[in-house]
């Protein structure tokens, strides 16, 4: 009688030990090539191996670049901007305008940007930059102009920020399209951070010259 009880007790101990080892193995084993992605094995037991989250995507990168835009955003046309008439587009950052009040013609250089040179030998994206500016400001169109701290450059050209008649900020539009790069020259830096952020996004796309040159 005592011998039979001892035998049953021994079998129970052995069985409990085997079940514990098997359960521990099933609970611990890592995901293999054929493992269910839900984090549970074929027996419905939860594995203690974390499932990695999704990898970052390209839109997340662009969103990070957009977050660098200044809080002020793209400026509206200022109240003190003056109206001029586009007479000719020289290149991506220089136009000739006519003052309607005096009929005087002046060559204007856009502040805070630089585009590839068209002469004597056209640089990469020079023609495209000029075309983009001509689309924004075709000959005969009204353009609104406003200065920064320094009114003229070393060539005695008026330095101006420009807006289209429907309110688009031309200097910014050229950088955002990848037609121009940001050019920071003190003291005319009122919108330098905006232009730098627009260039970073254009390069990340890449847009315009940044994908072709």
Tell the residue number behind the tokens 């950052």, with chain if given. Answer: 93
Told to judge if 47 belongs to the known catalytic residues of this protein, a careful annotator would answer no
The two tokens of residue 32 are 């293999």
Per DSSP, the three-state class of 207 is: coil
Q: What is the pLDDT of residues 10-68, one digit of tens each?
A: 444 444 444 443 344 333 333 343 333 333 333 333 333 333 333 233 333 334 334 44
CA distance readout (Å), 203 to 56, 115, 172, 213: 19, 15, 14, 11
Q: Which residues of 72-91 are buried (b: 16+ CB within 10 A; e: fewer)?
A: eeebebeeebeebbbeebeb
> Which sequence spans correspond to the domains of the chain?
2-53, 82-212
User: pTM for the complete prediction?
Assistant: 0.68
User: Which position among 117, 168, 193, 203 bears the catalytic label?
Assistant: 117
Query: How high is the pLDDT of residue 126?
Result: 98
User: Which position among 48, 104, 109, 209 bears the catalytic label?
Assistant: 109
Cis peptide before 96 (omega within 30 of 0): no
The two tokens of residue 87 are 């007479």
CATH of domain 82-212: 2.40.50.90
Whole-number Å distance between alpha carbons of 179 and 209: 6
Told to judge if 157 belongs to the known catalytic residues of this protein, a careful annotator would answer yes
Which stretches within 73-212 are classed as H helix? Answer: 126-136, 170-176, 192-204, 209-212
Told to judge if 184 belongs to the known catalytic residues of this protein, a careful annotator would answer no
Q: What is the pLDDT of residues 181-203, one digit of tens each?
A: 999 999 999 999 999 999 999 99
Q: What is the pLDDT of residues 133-162, one digit of tens each?
A: 999 999 999 999 999 999 999 999 999 999
């Amino acid at each position: 009688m005592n011998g039979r009880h001892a035998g049953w007790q021994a079998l129970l101990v052995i069985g409990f030990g085997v079940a514990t080892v098997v359960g521990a193995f099933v609970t611990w084993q890592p995901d293999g090539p054929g493992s269910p992605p839900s984090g549970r094995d074929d027996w419905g037991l939860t594995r203690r191996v974390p499932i990695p989250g999704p990898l970052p995507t390209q839109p997340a990168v662009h969103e990070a670049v957009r977050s660098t835009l200044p809080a002020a955003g793209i400026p509206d046309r200022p109240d003190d901007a003056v109206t001029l008439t586009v007479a000719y587009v020289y290149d991506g950052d220089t136009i000739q305008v006519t003052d309607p009040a005096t009929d005087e013609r002046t060559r204007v250089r856009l502040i805070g940007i630089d585009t590839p040179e068209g002469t004597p030998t056209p640089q990469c994206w020079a023609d495209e930059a000029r075309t983009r500016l001509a689309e924004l400001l075709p000959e005969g169109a009204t353009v609104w102009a406003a200065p920064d701290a320094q009114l003229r450059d070393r060539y005695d050209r008026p330095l101006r920020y420009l807006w289209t008649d429907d309110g688009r900020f031309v200097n910014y539009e050229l950088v955002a399209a990848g037609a121009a790069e940001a050019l920071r020259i003190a003291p005319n830096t009122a919108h330098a951070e905006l232009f730098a952020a627009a260039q970073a996004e254009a390069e990340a796309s890449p847009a315009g010259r940044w994908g072709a040159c």
